Structure 1
Amino acid sequence: MPLKIYKRGRKWWVRGRADGEQSYINRSLRTFDEVVARAKVAEIEGKARKRAILGPDAPSETDELTFADVSVFYNAKPAEAKFLLKVWPEIEHIRVKDITPKFVRDLGKKLYPMAACDTWRRQVVVPICAVINNAHLEKGTPPINVKGYSTIERQRQDEKRGKLSRVKKTPGSWEWLDKFRLEANSYMGALALFMFTTGARIGQSVLIETEDLDLRNSRLWLSPSKGHPGQWVDLIPEMIVDLANLTPRNCRVFGYTSRHSVYGPWQTACERAGIEYIAPHAAGRHGFGTETIVRQGVNPVDAAKAGRWSSPRVLLDTYAHSENTKTKIVEAFTRR
């Protein structure tokens, strides 16, 4: 089937096989202009003829694919799409085979000169690699593997910024939670208790609807998150009482339409209670990890399973925070 152009929405696409080519293509030409679309098809056909004449020495079609070309094959999540829009002007015209790990690493420094290395990785390296490696699976373009930033690189960047990255989080505790709940409204108080006693993420928690509750069996259904499947989560008696007394608001059990609507009132409740501001994630998931492992001595395997961590190591490395280390060590080695 020879190459033909057709409209899909407002844009022009091409499908078929160029003369002498074995592979079938069906992709966007990334233009609203029919004249431009036909010119692009002529270019594709010209390259195909060149490959037919030169044989193995001719560049393959995938060699000519740019970052813009392969981006159409990647279904970016909203957050990823926002990050990709920022890097787009710097990389869209570059052929995928010419994008090097060094270029990707240096792009973070260029776009966000005063950001932390972790920001470079999250907002530049990860989304670019996701697009390129997806294209490797879809079209056979070269994959990419970008080395992470070293401890020394993070330290140097922190010195340049004048502040530390990866600041140690203060985990939630029962004492903090009780004071917080005295000043928070009933929805926020229940939300804080739920995250602390289940290890649930705030993004998951605000999405819980009435249909997800099974209070008769002391549990609720938690939606999938971070690659983990949805599952039933057991509730403590105090949590069941709170949920039974909450009237659904905004079609959600905890009354918030998104996690972003929680942060302002959360900070206000901390100020009114005269307690340290601990963000929802630290108060909840970090609090759960520290309470179970450090304070209550729960087996890490059981705690990781209950909190839906991929492994006990992730829980121990990131979410279980040491407390009163010096006192505990001295007491452990004091002869009685």
Structure 2
Amino acid sequence: MSLVIYRRGNIWHYRGTIAHRRLRGSTHTADKETAERVVAQKQVSEWRRELYGPESVLTFPQAVSLYLDAQKSDRFLIKLVNYWKDSLVRSINSGKVRQAAVALYPDGSAATRNRHVIVPTQAVINHAADMDLCRHLKVKRFPAETKAKEPATWEWVQKFMAHANPHLGALCCFMFLTGARISEAVNVRWRDLDLSTGKALIRQSKVRSERKAHMPAVLVEAVANIRSNREPSSKVFKYSSLNSARSPWRGAVQRAGIKPLTYHACRHGFATSMLHKGVDPITVAKLGGWKSAQHVFATYGHAMTDETLADRIVETADPSQV
């Protein structure tokens, strides 16, 4: 049985069975002739899927829809959908993805091309591949120079807090002492905090999960000093997004006379400080919500600058303890 069209209101819809699959949907048009063309293309697509497999009909926009349905990030995807249009996923190979990166960002750095084009394109297609809808795609990255990011220190945070308003100072302290990302921190609600036990619920935006974080006494004090109606659904740090905190952040840095560091320097500082205090990477990853200990060690395992560290090798314990 082929597909037939029928009107529902002013819009034409279709229904029927192809290859034992029951299909129905809207043509999204009030014009009958256009609706018939849409249905004809739908029938061809369904038979092609039946005869040659889902990879023969899966388009990049369809793969993106599946990716977003899985609650994945939509970052950078609009530009990619406009570029690939209705290209079949099976026609997108490593070389074409690299060409797309150059075409979309002709003056962009290697890191920009990797981050904005290669990584999201590969993520979308490989998500579909995990659903057995196409083959996995591997794309060679453009060689990019890795720039060392400077982490915030507790001393830096204290100077920042001394010259920031209570909301902003507490926000900075929260990121440094819990490892929260800025997107996670600005979305913390009063219902997510228990100041009596020093616990915070952090909804992790990047990995789509939640974790509980410990708040040291100094952080509890900073949060307690925030003037707010403290409605359970109200944001603790009042900023609607990372953008609304940017200008006050810069102002506090200037007033404190400290090196300008980004929001992420606080999360960076959390990991670096933990590692330098002897906390193992597995524990740091768990406490800060990183996906792996390897990532923590590779990204945040900065060498210490104290040239006298070798003295520790020959330091002897208290004789009474031997």
Q: TM-score, normalised by structure 1?
A: 0.78
Checking the alignment, whether the CA contact within 8 Å between 1:97 and 1:141 is kept in structure 2 is no
1:110 aligns with one of 99, 103, 108: 103
Q: Deviations over 1:83-134 (max 9, x none)?
A: 2322334311322222222111220111102222332233222333344344
- Please report the RMSD computed on the Cα atoms of aligned residues, expressed in angstroms: 3.5
- What corresponds to 1:268 in structure 2? 251
- What corresponds to 1:36 in structure 2? 34
Percent identity of paired positions between Structure 1 and Structure 2: 32
Q: Secondary structure at the match of 1:220?
A: strand
- What corresponds to 2:139 in structure 1? 147
Checking the alignment, whether the CA contact within 8 Å between 1:83 and 1:127 is kept in structure 2 is yes
Return closer, same or farther for 1:141/1:230 CA change in 2, 3 Å cut-off.
closer
Unaligned runs of 5+ in 1: 155-164
Q: Secondary structure at the match of 1:144?
A: coil
- What corresponds to 2:269 in structure 1? 287
Aligned length: 312
- What corresponds to 1:313 in structure 2? 294
167-176 or 111-120: which moved more? 111-120
Task: Specify the code of the residue in structure 1 equivalent to 2:261.
Answer: I
- What corresponds to 2:281 in structure 1? 300
Residues 1-336 of structure 1 mapped to structure 2, 5 A cutoff: 2-5=2-5, 14-18=14-18, 21-26=19-24, 33-45=31-43, 62-75=55-68, 81=74, 83-136=76-129, 141-149=133-141, 153-154=143-144, 165-227=145-207, 229-248=209-228, 251-282=234-265, 284-294=266-276, 296-324=277-305, 327-328=307-308, 331=311
Checking the alignment, whether the CA contact within 8 Å between 1:6 and 1:12 is kept in structure 2 is yes
Task: Specify the code of the residue in structure 2 equivalent to 1:88.
Answer: V
216-225 or 141-150: which moved more? 141-150
| CA distance in structure 2 between the aligned counterparts of 1:28 and 1:322, rounded to whole angstroms | 60
> How far 1:68 moved relative to its partner?
3.9
> How far 1:170 moved relative to its partner?
0.7
Q: Deviations over 1:125-180 (max 9, x none)?
A: 23333443444466x54223122315xx33xxxxxxxxxx5321110112211211
Checking the alignment, whether the CA contact within 8 Å between 2:2 and 2:43 is kept in structure 1 is no
> How far 1:255 moved relative to its partner?
1.4
Checking the alignment, whether the CA contact within 8 Å between 1:180 and 1:269 is kept in structure 2 is yes
> How far 1:5 moved relative to its partner?
4.3
Checking the alignment, whether the CA contact within 8 Å between 2:180 and 2:267 is kept in structure 1 is yes
Task: Specify the code of the residue in structure 1 equivalent to 2:185.
Answer: S
| CA distance in structure 1 between the aligned counterparts of 2:108 and 2:246, rounded to whole angstroms | 22
Q: Secondary structure at the match of 1:223?
A: strand
Checking the alignment, whether the CA contact within 8 Å between 2:285 and 2:296 is kept in structure 1 is yes
- Higher helix proportion (structure 1 or 2): 1
Task: Specify the code of the residue in structure 2 equivalent to 1:261.
Answer: S
> How far 1:15 moved relative to its partner?
4.3
Unaligned runs of 5+ in 2: 317-322
224-233 or 255-264: which moved more? 224-233
> How far 1:280 moved relative to its partner?
0.9
| CA distance in structure 1 between the aligned counterparts of 2:99 and 2:204, rounded to whole angstroms | 34
Q: TM-score, normalised by structure 2?
A: 0.81
> How far 1:60 moved relative to its partner?
5.8
Return closer, same or farther for 1:234/1:71 CA change in 2, 3 Å cut-off.
closer
Return closer, same or farther for 1:141/1:232 CA change in 2, 3 Å cut-off.
closer
Task: Specify the code of the residue in structure 2 equivalent to 1:40.
Answer: V
Checking the alignment, whether the CA contact within 8 Å between 1:204 and 1:222 is kept in structure 2 is yes
Checking the alignment, whether the CA contact within 8 Å between 2:125 and 2:137 is kept in structure 1 is no
- What corresponds to 1:162 in structure 2? none
- What corresponds to 2:320 in structure 1? none
| CA distance in structure 1 between the aligned counterparts of 2:11 and 2:54, rounded to whole angstroms | 21
